[in-house]
């Protein structure tokens, strides 16, 4: 009898795609649990206060910074990064196309095998540098694309999910278990990979007469979004990007407040993302929604603060953390027609005992529940914790909105 080892049968494209979908489905079902496991793999000192997101020390200011004091700089020549998601480190998780060739980029596999409703490779502002020695937060950006998030961040999460499944309950440790994450090294090194940043905004309604506050909470539908599905999140949240890829929008939309204003309109009011900026740049000064909110900022009835930025320990997605505090009368007038569902999920509502739907109370109990016991996206949890820590400043407006 021959004892010559027989070669393993080659996996078919159908089998490789089925295995890929199994891991992808597990990732979307288990993002919260996987995040908790991934967090244990990072030293505590690499986390921002509260232990939810990875951050360098100078990324999180000691006190909230009025948004207009955050400085943005543009770098026209964007350098190549050594990590782009096409390397051999991801070979073990690559599905095969119908012809047997592997999907080189993770975004291509998502498009063909598990495409969500929103999936477009739009241009984004790529984060290149966060100044360490500036007197005010100073961030440098260049050109990037949304699929860099999918090809790197979602691929890293898929790799980790596959490793957890394969470990059968044992700890996932060492570079051999997750070679792609190992190749990236320090995820906060902005030179190693292209980093696209989202703008996450905690929208708070503050009733000065009663001293009570509530905030808007979102549940992200995994059938609609490519990242962060199945988790609670603050709202609005959106990639920091121009309103359209037409070249005149790059400079016109390169502004944190303008990005937040568009997301407030789209996510809370269900407004269209089509601003006609494919033919001409947005005239923000003539846009009634922006006019009203800009006037409210000048009057102090809307206060917007920068609380820093951090990275998700599972996906390594980067979020800039901001909070917008609306006086109750302004919030009620602005969002009288607030929507319950949008293109990315649905708004979470509680009842006040009379059957009326209300927002989530901004209280120690709710902050603790959401950040410690509910499946919440790490950036949202970090933002809630920081906002609660600095609640006296952001609610009272102790820091003047224009630094006066």
For position 387, what pLDDT does the model report? 97
Cα-Cα-Cα-Cα dihedral sign, residues 39, 35, 26, 121: negative
* Average pLDDT over the chain, rounded to an integer: 91
pLDDT band with cut points at 50, 70 and 90 for residue 404: very low
Mean pLDDT of 103-122: 94
Tokens read off for 150? 């999918």
Calculate what percentage of the chain has a pLDDT beyond 70: 94
**DSSP category for residue 399:** S
Q: Which residues contact 243 (CB under 8 A, 6 or more apart)?
A: 249, 253, 262, 273, 275, 277, 282
CA dihedral (101, 106, 110, 113) in degrees, to 10, reads: 30
- Rounded Cα gap, residues 228 and 28, in angstroms: 8
Region of 161 (left: φ > 0; alpha: ψ -120 to 50; beta: rest) is: alpha
pLDDT band with cut points at 50, 70 and 90 for residue 153: very high
pTM of the model: 0.92
For position 381, what pLDDT does the model report? 95
Mean pLDDT of 352-358: 51
Cα separation of the two ends of the chain: 90
Whether 146 and 122 have beta carbons less than 8 Å apart is answered as: yes
Least confident range of 85-94, 115-124, 164-173: 164-173
Mean pLDDT of 55-59: 94
**DSSP category for residue 121:** -
User: What are the φ and ψ backbone dihedral angles of 42, each rounded to 5 degrees?
Assistant: -110, 140
Mean pLDDT of 240-252: 97
The model's pLDDT over 294-310, given as tens digits with 9 standing for 90+, comes to 999 999 999 999 999 99
The secondary structure of the chain in percent helix, strand, coil, rounded to multiples of 5, reads 35, 20, 45
The model's pLDDT over 380-398, given as tens digits with 9 standing for 90+, comes to 999 999 999 999 999 988 6
Mean pLDDT of 20-31: 95
Name the 3-class secondary structure at 294. helix
- Rounded Cα gap, residues 12 and 15, in angstroms: 5
Calculate what percentage of the chain has a pLDDT beyond 90: 79
- Indicate the length of the chain as a whole number: 404
The model's pLDDT over 266-277, given as tens digits with 9 standing for 90+, comes to 999 999 999 999
Tokens read off for 398? 């102790």
């Amino acid at each position: 009898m021959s004892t010559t080892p027989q070669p393993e049968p080659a996996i078919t494209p159908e089998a490789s795609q089925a295995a890929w979908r199994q891991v992808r489905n597990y990732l979307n079902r288990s993002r919260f649990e996987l995040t908790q496991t991934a967090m244990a793999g990072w030293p505590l000192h690499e986390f921002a206060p509260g232990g939810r997101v990875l951050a360098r020390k100078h990324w999180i200011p000691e006190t909230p910074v009025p948004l207009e004091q955050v400085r943005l700089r543009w770098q026209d020549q964007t350098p190549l990064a050594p990590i782009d998601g096409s390397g051999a480190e991801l070979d073990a998780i690559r599905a095969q196309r119908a012809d047997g060739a592997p999907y080189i980029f993770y975004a291509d596999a998502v498009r063909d095998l598990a495409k969500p409703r929103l999936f477009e490779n739009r241009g984004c502002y790529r984060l290149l540098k966060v100044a360490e020695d500036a007197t005010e937060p100073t961030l440098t950006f260049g050109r990037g694309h949304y699929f860099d998030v999918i090809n790197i961040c979602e691929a890293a999460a898929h790799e980790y999910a596959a490793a957890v499944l394969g470990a059968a309950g044992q700890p996932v440790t060492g570079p051999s278990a997750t070679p792609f994450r190992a190749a990236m090294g320090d995820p906060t090194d902005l030179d190693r990979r292209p980093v696209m940043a989202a703008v996450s905004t905690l929208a708070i309604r503050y009733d000065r007469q009663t001293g009570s506050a509530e905030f808007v909470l979102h549940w992200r539908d995994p059938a609609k979004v490519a990242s962060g599905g199945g988790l609670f999140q603050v709202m609005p949240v959106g990639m920091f990007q121009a309103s359209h890829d037409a070249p005149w929008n790059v400079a016109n939309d390169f502004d944190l407040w303008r990005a937040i204003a568009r997301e407030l309109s789209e996510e809370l009011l269900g407004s269209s993302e089509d601003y006609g900026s494919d033919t001409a740049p947005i005239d923000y000064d003539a846009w009634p929604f922006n006019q009203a909110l800009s006037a409210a900022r000048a009057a102090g009835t809307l206060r917007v603060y920068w609380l820093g930025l951090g990275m998700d320990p599972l996906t390594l997605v980067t979020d800039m953390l901001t909070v917008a505090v609306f006086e109750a009368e302004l919030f009620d007038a602005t969002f009288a027609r607030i929507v319950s569902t949008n293109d990315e999920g649905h708004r979470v509502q509680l009842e006040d005992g009379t059957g009326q739907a209300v927002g989530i109370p901004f209280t120690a109990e709710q902050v603790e529940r959401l950040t410690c016991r509910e499946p919440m996206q790490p950036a949202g949890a970090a933002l809630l914790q920081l906002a609660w820590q600095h609640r006296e400043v952001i609610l009272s407006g102790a820091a003047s909105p224009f630094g006066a």
